[in-house]
Amino acid sequence: MTVSYENSKTIFAGIKAAGIRSISALPETWLGPLLQRAEDDADVHLIQVAKEEEAIGIAAGAHFAGERHLLLMQNHGFLAAINGIVSLAQLYSIPLCMLIALRGHWGEPYPWHTRGGIVTEGVLRALGIPFEYARDPQMVGRQIREAYTLSQSSLSPVALLLTRDLMED
């Protein structure tokens, strides 16, 4: 299976339609086409990070600057960023809209992704982070808008899980 370039285009259109012009991300296979679109779009500011926890601080700064910001990460990156999520975003009521590539889930052929995939949903629940699955390209634009809106109104992290159905052809 390969990454769906058409669905990546649809996701990016949904990001822009939500008025988001700032994205922080660490490159990952499923997210590559999205990051390339962001990098090529003069209206979007892409900040590539070395560690996902850096993206939490960047998102906090964007929030305080009044900038509409989104985090793109793989679920293993989400797990690596938990300290920043808990000790910064949740503690100080900072909204985070996270689009998380849900690797290691149904149909995952690579064993190095499975451990993170098995625990991601439980960790989101344990942290009290609302989440939803993005499976349908016709719905993902609305889901991005709604996730961003909920993160802002609740002043808390929210996750939209990008599934294999959406991300691969």
Q: What does DSSP say about strands 131-134 and 96-101: parallel, antiparallel, or unpaired? A: unpaired
Domain of residue 87, CATH code: 3.40.50.970
Six-digit token pair at 53? 């926890």
Q: Going edge to edge, which strands form the sheet with 131-134?
A: 45-48, 22-25, 69-74, 96-101, 157-162, 131-134
Q: What is the mean pLDDT of residues 83-93?
A: 98
Q: Which pLDDT value is given to residue 140? A: 98
pLDDT > 80? residue 133: yes
Give the torsion sign (CA, 89, 36, 34, 20).
Answer: positive
User: Please, which pLDDT band fits residue 111 given cuts at 50, 70 and 90?
Assistant: confident
Q: What is the mean pLDDT of residues 139-143?
A: 98
Residue 57 near residue 84, CB atoms below 8 Å:
yes
List the domain range (segments joined by +) for residue 98.
5-167
Name residues whose C-beta falls within 8 Å of residue 49's C-beta, 6 or more positions apart in sequence: 24, 25, 26, 55, 58
What is the percentage of the chain residues whose pLDDT exceeds 90?
89
Q: How many domains does the chain have?
A: 1
Choice between 115 and 121, residue whose per-residue pLDDT is larger: 121
pLDDT > 80? residue 8: yes
User: pTM for the complete prediction?
Assistant: 0.96
Q: Which pLDDT value is given to residue 110? A: 85
pLDDT in tens, 27-83: 889 999 999 999 999 999 999 999 999 999 999 999 999 999 999 999 999 999 999
Whose tokens are 């949740």? That residue is: 90
Q: What are phi and psi of 75, to 5 degrees?
A: -65, -30
